[in-house]
Amino acid sequence: MGEAVQVWRVPLLISDQAIARYAKCLSADERARADRFRFEADRRKFVVARGTLRHLLGKRFGCAAGAIAFCYSKYGKPETSADPSGYSFHFNLSHSGEIALCALGGDRTVGIDIEKVKPIQRLDSLLERCLVAREKAIVKSQPIEQQPSAFLQHWTCKEAYLKAIGLGLSQSMTTVEVDLNPAPFDSPRFVHVPDECAAGWQLHRIAVPETYVAALVVAGESAVDVKDWQHSD
């Protein structure tokens, strides 16, 4: 099966001092992007998530976090060729609320998504837009207060796949169909993905605090190792 995919859970609310340290390793374009956030809280979260990603990649490649060079695919997926051996090193990032997840896939393509669970306005129209009939039926079979979470269980699996292939939400969510057992929504698998064999992609639930849901998609079979990132002050 090769090397395990690593997933790091990253707390986003940290001290000013730690944020200043992460800000130092960002590139000029990342700093400019950070400065464009309207809300300070969003600026801080972006800096922590990007800074941590840079530290993880730097450790992996044996270089300084600031030396990592990102480029972006047509739909904005960050990529890096900083690995000295020259092959692409696959990774992906997601943030929601107070947590980010960084997935390091190595030679395996990965996509990851985390969502904070909260009440959803106009859930029915989202169900129509994003889920296929069988998925909608599963969400609707849940008690009303559980439906946002049941919807996000599906959403995270679909978004993680669309992020793995780099298209993100430029592609309709209904092009991906997932099979989740009704609560607790464990053992998810793909029923259908666009233009590819669904069996080639593995879906994994990632353990996150109770008010979040998260999913990881990996190209092919792989063990997944989930760890907590400790910010140093």
Place of tokens 């730097």: 58
Q: Assess contact for 210 and 154: CB atoms under 8 A.
A: no
Query: In the stretch 134-173, what mask flags binding to ligand COA with x, by CB under 6 A?
Result: -------------------------x---x--x-xxx---
15 belongs to the binding site for ligand COA (CB under 6 A): no
What are residue 227's phi and psi, to 5 degrees?
A: -135, 160
177 belongs to the binding site for ligand COA (CB under 6 A): no
CB of residue 26 vs ligand COA: minimum separation in angstroms?
Answer: 11
Q: What is the dihedral of CA 204, 210, 211, 212, to 10 degrees?
A: -10
77 belongs to the binding site for ligand COA (CB under 6 A): yes
- Closest to ligand COA by CB, 73 or 125: 73
78 belongs to the binding site for ligand COA (CB under 6 A): yes
* Interacting residues with ligand COA between 31 and 50 (CB under 6 A): 46, 49-50
Answer for which of 7, 14, 19, 93 binds ligand COA (CB under 6 A) is: 93
The dihedral through the CA atoms of 219, 156, 128, 185 has a sign that is positive
95 belongs to the binding site for ligand COA (CB under 6 A): yes
> How many binding residues for ligand COA (CB under 6 A)?
18
Nearest to 165 by CA among 57, 50, 74, 94: 74
Answer for which of 75, 81, 120, 220 binds ligand COA (CB under 6 A) is: 75
The dihedral through the CA atoms of 217, 218, 221, 227 has a sign that is negative
CB of residue 158 vs ligand COA: minimum separation in angstroms?
Answer: 10
The DSSP element (H or E) to which 31 belongs, if any, is: helix 28-36
- Closest to ligand COA by CB, 83 or 181: 83
Answer for which of 47, 56, 57, 94 binds ligand COA (CB under 6 A) is: 94
- Among all residues, whose Cβ is closest to ligand COA? 168
CB proximity list for 184: less than 8 A, separation 6 or greater: none
Task: Fill in the DSSP letter of residue 193.
Answer: B
- Closest to ligand COA by CB, 142 or 171: 171
CA distances from 76 to 39, 71, 79, 156 (A): 22, 9, 9, 18
Return residues touching ligand COA (CB under 6 A).
Answer: 46, 49-50, 75-78, 92-95, 113, 159, 163, 166, 168-170
